[in-house]
Amino acid sequence: MLNRINQVLEHSFHTVMHSGQHYKIACEHTASKPKRVRPWTLNLGLVFLLCGIVMGCGERSNTVVSIALNPTKSNILYIATDEAVYKTRDSGQSWERFEGELKRTRVISLAIDPQLPANVFAGTNGDGAYKSPDGGRSWHQFNQGLQRGTISSIVNQIVFHPGDSQTLYAATTVGIFQSSDGGKTWEPRLSGMTEINFVVSLAIDPHRPEIMYAGTTGGVYRTKNSAENWVKVTEGMVAADAKMASMAMGVNSLAIDPKNPLIVYAGTTQGLFKSTNQGNNWTKVGDALGAGYVSEIQLDPSNPDTIYLATSQGVKKSLDGGETWSLKSSGLEATSIRSVKIDQKNPKTLYIGTNGGGLYRTEDGGETWTHLPLTAVRK
């Protein structure tokens, strides 16, 4: 298993040392800072390393773990780094840093209410979920029910029901949770997930929101009844003798074709997979992608055959639904990409967060990238 960790992390980490249930990782930074090495010791870090969740190297403020764009005003975006949460109102020219209640925790995921964008949710690394009702000025913990026993949830992703923003789902290390009251209370939705609790990613069919997909450390699950029951759908993705294994395949990101929701993409620790029948069967796509991890997927909403990937080897782009790929990393100092978000109104504009190299923006579909430093920060 240790060899598998090293394989997954070969582009981001210098070494992995095992001692009991702990894994010590020495981070290898960008070429411009080759001597900066910081050791980490993670209890049960295996789960998160395989899923690409803990991959932050470099200066803490230069590792961008999550990006969220305001759906109505794309000049407004939020980013979470290993250090803090930031907001810009001018597309990254200046930033506001949020502390307060968030100062005592580490945010690893962000989500914006599509109907009321002033409502922002933050998923944390062991402290459950927080909500801001005022665009980030204040934050309040929204955790009731978001745990199992005494175990607090690491919230890897929060998604909104496309037609009812009072309904949310959280992908956590202790399962899937649903809220029907805007995040005030949560209930587990684990029926059918018999061998897995570690949920990394979620995707909701925009046309039939009762259909959802969950990416886990054991592959993909699907529900057709709003998370009341889940079925494992890993044919072609996970080997037959590993289908019941809880660590068979780390699925970091899921994306559904907005024009043809039968098509689903899964970004994993072993490359990109595609299904054309709602996950019943999967095919690995893009031989040129190699075996590196895919940490996030974004589809062009106007032309979903155009796909962008955040990978351990840079930004990858396809114009033909994943058949062929090109590297789009011109201007990037860091090649290990943690997060990517597309501007839904201007799909040639994208933002990427790197492991140790900060935040970048492209306005030409990835041909060139501009670094957006966290300067002129207001606290």
- pLDDT value for 167: 98
What CA–CA distance (Å, rounded) separates 336 from 353? 9
**Token pair in block for residue 364:** 């030409």
pTM of the full structure: 0.85
Q: Which domains does the chain have, with CATH numbers?
A: 64-378 (2.130.10.10)
The burial class, CB within 10 Å (0-12 / 13-18 / 19+), for 103 is exposed
What CA–CA distance (Å, rounded) separates 161 from 204? 7
What CA–CA distance (Å, rounded) separates 264 from 274? 6
- pLDDT value for 103: 85
Non-local (6+) Cβ contacts of 127 within 8 A are 104, 105, 106, 141, 143, 152
- pLDDT value for 147: 76
What CA–CA distance (Å, rounded) separates 19 from 22? 5
What CA–CA distance (Å, rounded) separates 93 from 98? 17
Structure confidence by residue, pLDDT tens digits, 80-139 = 998 899 999 999 999 999 978 888 899 999 999 999 999 999 999 989 999 999 999 999
Let me know: does 341 contact 80? Beta carbons within 8 Å.
Answer: no
**Regions in the chain scoring below 70 on pLDDT:** 1-61, 148-152, 239-248, 288, 290-291, 376-379
Return the beta strands (E) in 39-91 as ranges. Answer: 39-43, 64-69, 77-81, 85-88
- pLDDT value for 335: 81
- pLDDT value for 4: 41
- pLDDT value for 152: 65
Count CB-CB contacts under 10 A for residue 235. 16
